[in-house]
Structures are given as C-alpha cells and as structure tokens.
Amino acid sequence: MKAYLALISAAVIGLAACSQEAAKPAEAPAASAASEAVPAETTAPADAAPASEAAPADAAAAPAAGNCATTVEANDAMQFNTKEIQVSKACKEFTVTLKHTGTQPKESMGHNIVIGKAEDMDGIFKDGAGAAATDYVKADDARVVAHTKLVGGGEEASLTLDPAKLAGGEYKFACTFPGHGALMNGKVTLVD
C-alpha cells in the first residue's frame, strides 16, 4: 500500500512537472493568438451579457469578458489611461468599467465616463456643468448614450451599452466633471 501510494505520488509529481513544462511554451502563443484574434472570436457573443455580471466565474467567463468589456482607468492627474474605447459590434452588451486609481475624493477629483455623439458633447458638457446633483450629467439627457456615475479615488463604476447604438456616427467619451473634459476625453469606435 505504501509503495502503491509512493508510486502514485511519484506519478503525480511527474505529471505536474510535465504539464508545467508543457504549459509554459504552449501558453505564450495561445495568449497572443487570443489577443490578436478578437475579430475572429465574434462568433461567441452569446456569453457577453452574463459574463459582465459573472465576475466570479473566472475560467468560463474570461474570454467573453475580454471581448465585451473593458476597463478604463482615471487618476488624480485628471487623466484617462486611454484615448480610445473599442467596442465590438458582435457584443449584445458592452460594459465599460471606470476605475479611479487615485486617492482624491470625488468632490475635488471626480471622474465619470459619458458617451455621446461627437457633435453632441458640447451640449452634454454645458448642461452637465450645472448638474452636480446628478454627477454632472443632465437628468434624462437624450444625447447621452451611456454614462457611469461619478467616482472618487479608489472607487469604480461601470456602464453598459448596446453597441448598435454606436452605428453610423462618430462617438466620444469624456469626463464631465467641471474642467476635466479638455484633458479627459477620447473616441469610442466600433470594431468587428
């Protein structure tokens, strides 16, 4: 019995060593293939909606979440970490999570993400400037395609939109906190 167990554990160790060795070289090409293959994976949009809510189900949800969700960071220096949000057409819903990586409170360094048509952004800003109570987005502003709430340092918030709403126009995202829009903006593009 003892010898039998020893054999098994030897076999397990051997397997573990093997699979570790095998996994390393195999992983790198697979990962880069996956990141380059975003358009090719558009055949799996069905998982999109549950994936954005199912953060704990890591293994199963990860690929879909990668395609139909993205994270944008904002900091205490009034900057987003990207100038473009790419939204896959294949997704039924697309989720953008805003993560404030700074420490300042939202009263002094608040950030949100507001998405609208490029030509509507001026109006969205103008009407949002006086709407502190609703996170600097005018209530029920029909020009706003989607927006997050306002967050301070260490907080995050997300928005979900239907990519079909971005068809046929130029769309932008911005932070509408007063004075932030000039630095904190970028484009929202539809991709395959």
Residue 94 is a binding residue for Co ion (CB under 5 A): no
**Residues 52, 64, 177, 185: which binds Co ion (CB under 5 A)?**
177
Residue 111 is a binding residue for Co ion (CB under 5 A): yes
Q: What is the dihedral of CA 11, 16, 22, 27, to 10 degrees?
A: 160
Residue 172 is a binding residue for Co ion (CB under 5 A): no
Residue nearest to Co ion (CB): 175
Site residue total, Co ion (CB under 5 A)? 5
Instruction: Please write down the HEC assignment for all residues of the chain.
Output: CHHHHHHHHHHHHHHHHHHHHHHHHHHHHHHHHHHHCCHHHHHCHHHHHHHHHCCCCHHHHHHHHHHHEEEEEECCCCCECCCEEEEECCCCCEEEEEEECCCCCHHHHCECCEEEEHHHHHHHHHHHHCCHHHCCCCCCCCCEEEECCCECCCCEEEEEECHHHHCCCCEEEECCCCCCCCCCEEEEEEEC
Residues 6+ apart with CB under 8 A from 140: none
Residue 100 is a binding residue for Co ion (CB under 5 A): no
C-beta of 125 vs 177, nearer to Co ion:
177
What is the smallest separation between the CB atom of 178 and Co ion, expressed in angstroms? 9
What is the smallest separation between the CB atom of 158 and Co ion, expressed in angstroms? 16
Residue 175 is a binding residue for Co ion (CB under 5 A): yes
C-beta of 28 vs 182, nearer to Co ion:
182
Residue 80 is a binding residue for Co ion (CB under 5 A): no
C-beta of 90 vs 172, nearer to Co ion:
172
C-beta of 93 vs 156, nearer to Co ion:
156
Residue 180 is a binding residue for Co ion (CB under 5 A): yes
Stretch of 58-66, 97-105, 106-114, 138-146 contacting Co ion, by CB under 5 A = 106-114
Q: Which two tokens stand for residue 189?
A: 């593009």
Interface ranges with Co ion (CB under 5 A): 111, 175, 177, 180, 184
